Amino acid sequence: MSINGLTLMPDHFPFIAIASLLPESVIGYTAIVLLIAGVYSASKKADRFYHFAGIVVLVALFAIMLLTPASSSKLILFSNMFISDCFSQTIKLLLVFATILSLIAADAWLVRGENQKFEFIVLTLFSLIGSMLMVSANDMLALYIGLELASLPLYVLASFDRDNLKSTESGIKYFVLGSIASGMLLFGISLLYGFAGTTNFTALQQLFANDFHVSKAILLAMVFILTGLAFKISAAPFHMWTPDVYEGAPTPVTAYFSLVPKIASLALLIRVLIEPLGHLVHDWQPIMLLLAILSMLVGALGALTQSNIKRLLAYSSIGQVGYALLGMATGTSEGIAAVIIYFALYILMSMGAFACIMCLNRAGNALETISDFAGLARAKPAVAFCLAGFMLSMAGIPPLAGFFGKFYVFKAAIHSGFFVVAVIGVVSSVIACFYYLKVIKVMYFDEPAVPAPDTHYPLALTGVIYFCAVLNSLFFLMPTPLIYMAQRAAEALFK
């Protein structure tokens, strides 16, 4: 049955519904099985579960590739609560890909480290399921359930290193501020339901398209919803939790934080803005532009005074969110495609940088301050070279991948007439170059005050570093497949 170009699948077609949720089902059942097996296992070490979980996530990746529909096809399932289209499947592909890289990079810390239990894998899988359900939500209630399923495991992961005071502190801060954000989001959803009479995306889209009177109460509900989601993506001025959580959480957890939950929340925000609120573009566009400007400037200026490498990357991620919000604010297919491209390239930059940090330690302790990297280029030239490449890419230096991510976003903004905001974005990128180059300067020109860091090169972590470095450096040779994939995914939202 087709309504307004959407294919609604009745509930008596269970095979189609099950097939559409196959990746989530595979990961979900695996997480439950590993949880039960871990409870009754004599050994709580992660090595019994790590490789099995990795294989299952890889299977889910191939399942998503097989299930990705054409750009014009949309399946709405489970009483209009779940949507499967090219956009959702493309984002899921990026989420699972980022999770695989995160698990591989965590190999040395998780399997070979001491006191690292199987719960890390289970929590990561549950968070991934929630993230995947978020991007397929077609109802505010499904949105909220997916968001909470993705967030609750993250609160535990942030404080996973129980013997570390900073880790415990970061978990508490993340939980408290995350709960506030969830409350604001739920309040906005309640207001929207009270004044619009529905929480379904398709129904809301049709309602606002038919000259429905948009009262101030509905606009207030929209503001609360956007505020709650802005907390989740750490957009300024709702970013206050990000530096502390990034610093306190174990580095593999921070690497996961910077990718999967953030990309899922940004993709969810895209769907909310384009589908149910698409006809209110002139109401939410100024809000998104303001968030983009604040995030770009706070990310650039906040990182200037940081001495901790993970706090620096936290402010960097806030700035990166600002560039993504700028693409969203255009409200066009070109802008959304630019954001998806930015997502994919950000995975390479962020995961590569964190992988380099993970392989460095001194006397068994992870390097924390930027000054700890002094002389790294002479002691460990390969790691320093790769890390420098990731820093330059985040700064947007051509011909590295990060340049193209920003280029497409700024291009879309200019085509939409946002010249001033695009200039602010360029200026913030120039400011950000200072602290990215500062890290490179410390590695290549500063004399170490202490012995060179120890470097362990486990095969898995080395593979992640070199894989991300190669794609980061050579993306310009073959950008067409990613651009085409992003354009198809963006077009699916506007059909």
Helices and strands: H and E segment counts in the chain: 22, 7
Sign of the CA dihedral with 403 first, then 404, 407, and 413 last: negative
Provide the H-helix boundaries in 333-380.
Answer: 333-358, 376-379
Give SS3 for 212.
Answer: coil
Burial class (CB in 10 A: 0-12, 13-18, 19+), 4: exposed
CA gap 270, 488 in Å, rounded: 15
Measure CA of the first residue to CA of the last residue in the chain; give whole Å.
16
235: left (phi over 0), alpha (psi -120 to 50) or beta: beta
Percent of the chain whose pLDDT exceeds 90: 49
CA gap 301, 326 in Å, rounded: 18
CA gap 455, 357 in Å, rounded: 10
- Who contacts 396 (Cβ-Cβ below 8 Å, separation ≥6)? 402, 403, 405, 406, 407, 429, 432, 433
Q: Which two tokens stand for residue 238?
A: 């709702």
35 — pLDDT class (breaks 50, 70, 90): confident
Question: What pLDDT score was predicted for residue 78?
Answer: 81
Rg (CA), the chain: 22
Are 489 and 86 spatial neighbours (Cβ–Cβ below 8 Å)?
Answer: yes
Say yes or no to pLDDT of 114 above 60. no
Q: Which two tokens stand for residue 412?
A: 């879309």
- Who contacts 307 (Cβ-Cβ below 8 Å, separation ≥6)? 369, 370, 371
Burial class (CB in 10 A: 0-12, 13-18, 19+), 463: middle
Higher-confidence residue: 10 or 272? 272
Q: Which two tokens stand for residue 214?
A: 């948009």
Residue 486 — φ and ψ, nearest 5°? -65, -40
Question: What pLDDT score was predicted for residue 374?
Answer: 85
Say yes or no to pLDDT of 474 above 70. yes
Q: Which two tokens stand for residue 274?
A: 């384009």
Q: Which two tokens stand for residue 370?
A: 């930027």
pTM of full prediction above 0.85: yes
Q: Which two tokens stand for residue 437?
A: 């180059």
Mean pLDDT of 279-299: 93
Dmax (CA) for the chain in angstroms is 70
Question: What pLDDT score was predicted for residue 454?
Answer: 60
Residue 84 — φ and ψ, nearest 5°? -120, 115
**Chain centre to alpha carbon of residue 267:** 9
Among 113-117, 294-298, 356-360, 375-379, which stretch is predicted with the lowest mean pLDDT?
A: 113-117
Question: What pLDDT score was predicted for residue 486?
Answer: 93
Say yes or no to pLDDT of 70 above 70. no
97 — pLDDT class (breaks 50, 70, 90): very high
Q: What is the DSSP string of 105-136?
A: HTHIIIIISTT-BTHHHHHHHHHHHHHHHHHT
Are 369 and 339 spatial neighbours (Cβ–Cβ below 8 Å)?
Answer: no
Question: What pLDDT score was predicted for residue 163?
Answer: 76
Across-strand partners of 164? none
Average pLDDT of the chain to the nearest whole number = 86
pLDDT tens per residue, range 205-261? 888 888 777 788 889 999 999 999 999 898 988 888 899 899 888 888 999 988 999
Q: Is the peptide bond preceding residue 381 cis, with omega within 30 degrees of 0?
A: no
Neighbours of 335 (CB within 10 A): 25
Q: What is the DSSP string of 141-183?
A: HHHHHHHHHHHHHHHHHHT--TT-HHHHHHHHHHHHHHHHHHH
DSSP 8-class letter at 364: T
pLDDT tens per residue, range 387-438? 999 999 999 999 999 999 999 999 999 999 999 999 999 999 999 999 999 9
DSSP 8-class letter at 308: B
CA gap 263, 258 in Å, rounded: 8
Token look-up 């535990």 returns: 156
Sheet holding 365-366, edge to edge: 365-366, 360-362, 454-455
Q: Which two tokens stand for residue 287?
A: 């809000």
Say yes or no to pLDDT of 266 above 60. yes
CA gap 304, 107 in Å, rounded: 32
Question: What pLDDT score was predicted for residue 446?
Answer: 81
Are 399 and 436 spatial neighbours (Cβ–Cβ below 8 Å)?
Answer: no
Residue 408 — φ and ψ, nearest 5°? -65, -35
CA gap 169, 334 in Å, rounded: 41
Task: Label the pairing between strands 74-77 and 82-85.
Answer: antiparallel
Mean pLDDT of 123-148: 92
